[in-house]
Structure 1
Amino acid sequence: MAQTLFITGASSGIGAATARAAAEAGWNTALFARSADRLRDLADELGGQALVLTGDATDAEALSDAAARCADHFGGIDAGFANAGRGLSKPGTEAGDLDDIRGMIDLNVTGVVLTARALLPHLRRSKGTLVLTGSAAGRRHIAGSIYGATKWFVHGYAGNLAEEMREWGGRCGVVAPGMVDTPFFDAGAPDKLQPQDVAAAVLQMITAPERAAIREVFLMPQQG
């Protein structure tokens, strides 16, 4: 029976590329994001291997309901990808809009915790793997970057989850890319990573032999 991957932030960019890579590898995919139209288009592309689950990654009830629907539809969840996240329209501690800052922290920090809470009961049954989207910005200090600080949280939380999940045979890791060619970054930066590069790393993490726990994959553009 095909294994199942639950993806947040699945409607575009890294999330959509990971759904495509997983489907090509024979996985079922549960596509969770706010944009119903984009999810339906992606699901049509992937065929019967995809389930559309519309919701907000900061909504605990929506995440729990989506995880339950996914498990019921496919018979379980074998891996999760907590990928939903965003940056700021105007970065900087003083320059940034306070509501924008709060919204980003809620999605990048609380949303990751809520995703883990929703998926862990299902992953415990399958001894599955959870991957979090970190960033190169979560591995070094960047002047005034609140976004970077949220990714430092993700990296720390991934390590803590890995220790928790290994107690029952599960695995957790973080994929940490540099600049990726997605709408997240402004146009014009040359030699970015492609979304499918990150997707390949996620697939490596969730398909690794049971004896191997890949705690982090750090990706940077080779040039630029």
Structure 2
Amino acid sequence: MTKTVFITGASSGIGAATAIAVAKAGWNVGLFARSEEKLQKLADEIGDQALVLTGDATKLEEQKTAMDKLKDKFGSIDAVFANAGRGTSGAGVEEGHPDDWDGMVDLNIKGALYTAHAAMPHLKPVKGQFLVTGSMAGRNHLKGSVYGATKWFIHGFAGNLAQEMAEWGGRCMVVSPGMVDTAFFDSPKPDKLQPEDVAEAIVYAMNAPQRANVREIYIAPTN
């Protein structure tokens, strides 16, 4: 039976690359993001294995509704990838913008929490897997980085969730990339990681046998 994954932040970057990679690996994929136009373009590329699910990751009910639609379409949800996230416009604490922090915390922290909360009723019956995008910035201290602090939360949360899911045979994995060449940055970073590099790590974890719990994959640019 073909398995199904739900991906937040699926319209670009790591999310879009992962959607393409997991579809090639034989999975059905639910594409969740705010931009219907970008999602539809991606779905057209993937084909019948993809379902467009427009919504805002900071809205719990919108995530719940999207997951229900995905289950109705393909019969089950076997994995959920909480990938949606963003940075902040001002670096550091003193020069940072508190109003901007609110939006970042809502997406990076609360959005991931909402994804996990909405996912558990779907994953528990199938002993499924929860995956979440962390960061090198959530493993190393970076001067004044409020963004990095949100990723420290993700790393701690993923470890705690893994313990909870283990009680019913579920698995939880955090992928921790260094700098990735995506629209997250104002200028291209062609010498850094590519979204496809992270996507391959996600596919590896998703296709690992049930006996293997891949808890973290940490990927740094060679240079």
What TM-score, normalized by structure 2, do the two folds share? 0.98
Shift of 1:2: 1.0
Match of residue 126 from structure 1: 126
What does residue range 10-159 of structure 1 map to in structure 2 within 5 Å? 10-159=10-159
SS in structure 2 at match of 1:69: helix
Q: CA offsets per residue over residues 64-93 of structure 1, 9 Å max, x none?
A: 111111111110100010000000011221
Q: Distance in 2 between matches of 1:55 and 1:188?
A: 28
Query: Percent of aligned positions with the same letter in both sequences?
Result: 61
Q: CA offsets per residue over residues 79-123 of structure 1, 9 Å max, x none?
A: 010000000011221222222111001100000000000111100
Shift of 1:189: 4.0
Structure 2 contact 181–190 (Cα < 8 Å) conserved: no
Q: CA offsets per residue over residues 30-56 of structure 1, 9 Å max, x none?
A: 000001100000001111000000001
SS in structure 1 at match of 2:48: helix
- The reply on whether 1:200 has 2:200 as its aligned counterpart is yes
Q: Distance in 2 between matches of 1:97 and 1:24?
A: 41
Letter in 1 for 2:33: A
Superposed CA RMSD in Å reads 0.9
Q: Distance in 2 between matches of 1:91 and 1:9?
A: 23
Structure 1 contact 179–185 (Cα < 8 Å) conserved: no
**Relative to structure 1, is the Cα distance of residues 119 and 184 closer, same or farther in structure 2, using a 3 angstrom cutoff?**
same
Q: Is the deviation greater in 84-93 or in 146-155? A: 84-93
Structure 2 contact 182–188 (Cα < 8 Å) conserved: no
Q: Distance in 2 between matches of 1:191 and 1:167?
A: 42
Structure 1 contact 81–132 (Cα < 8 Å) conserved: yes
Structure 1 contact 33–54 (Cα < 8 Å) conserved: yes
Shift of 1:190: 5.2
- The reply on whether 1:213 has 2:213 as its aligned counterpart is yes
SS in structure 2 at match of 1:52: strand
Shift of 1:158: 0.3
Q: Distance in 2 between matches of 1:119 and 1:188?
A: 34
Q: Distance in 2 between matches of 1:186 and 1:62?
A: 29
Q: Distance in 2 between matches of 1:214 and 1:94?
A: 38
SS in structure 2 at match of 1:31: strand
Letter in 1 for 2:159: G
Task: List gaps (5 residues or longer) in structure 2.
Answer: none
- The reply on whether 1:162 has 2:162 as its aligned counterpart is yes
Query: Which runs of structure 1 show a deviation greater than 4 angstroms over 4 or more consecutive aligned residues?
Result: none
Shift of 1:206: 1.1
Shift of 1:141: 0.5
Structure 2 contact 180–189 (Cα < 8 Å) conserved: no
SS in structure 2 at match of 1:51: strand
